[in-house]
Amino acid sequence: MWHADPDVNRYWDRRPLTHEEVAAKYLGTRAPEVRCFIIQAEKRAPIGFIQYAYLEPAGDVGLDMFLIPNFRDRGLGPKVAYFLAQHLLTTGAAQRVTVDPLLSNQRAIRAWNKAGFREISPVDQGDHGEPAILMEFDRS
């Protein structure tokens, strides 16, 4: 179960989720402005999760993502994030793509940087009670 991984539940839900909780949260009654995807490896094995949500102001889209431990530190996360951000911008689904990793999650900040996201400003994460950094995808 992905949400039992300490790195996932620390930054996502703060506790391991049951299968039923994961299904309800990510597949059931999600708001229509949130799109969820399973990331698959070349042999179709599920290796992670990515979602995007429409934000205010209109035209902004925020990404969130994680990979399972065996697929981290291979450059796959930045590739997936880059592809999705480019797709959202080139299709007109978004005018701006952002992420807001916690400052304590340096692995995520490095990965988002590799994907083409640049730091904009500090933000208060609220739900997690920790400071975060707003990052914006650089189209170039």
Residue 32 pLDDT level (bands cut at 50, 70, 90): low
**Where exactly are the structural domains of the chain?**
33-137
CA–CA separation, 118 and 133 (whole Å): 10
Residue 9 pLDDT level (bands cut at 50, 70, 90): low
β-pairing verdict for 96-99 and 60-67: parallel
CA–CA separation, 117 and 82 (whole Å): 9
Correct CATH for 33-137 of 3.40.630.30, 3.30.1280.10, 3.40.50.620, 3.30.365.10: 3.40.630.30
Residue 13, pLDDT above cutoff 80: no
Segment 31-52 mean pLDDT: 84
- Give first-to-last CA distance, the chain, whole Å: 37
CA–CA separation, 4 and 7 (whole Å): 9
Percentage of residues of the chain with pLDDT beyond 70: 78
- Most confidently modeled range among 5-19, 52-66, 119-133: 52-66
Q: For the whole model, what pTM was predicted?
A: 0.84
Q: What is the DSSP string of 71-132?
A: GTTSSHHHHHHHHHHHHHHHTTS-SEEEE--BTT-HHHHHHHHHTTEEEEEEEE-STTSSEE
Nearest Cα residue to 2 out of 31, 30, 38: 38
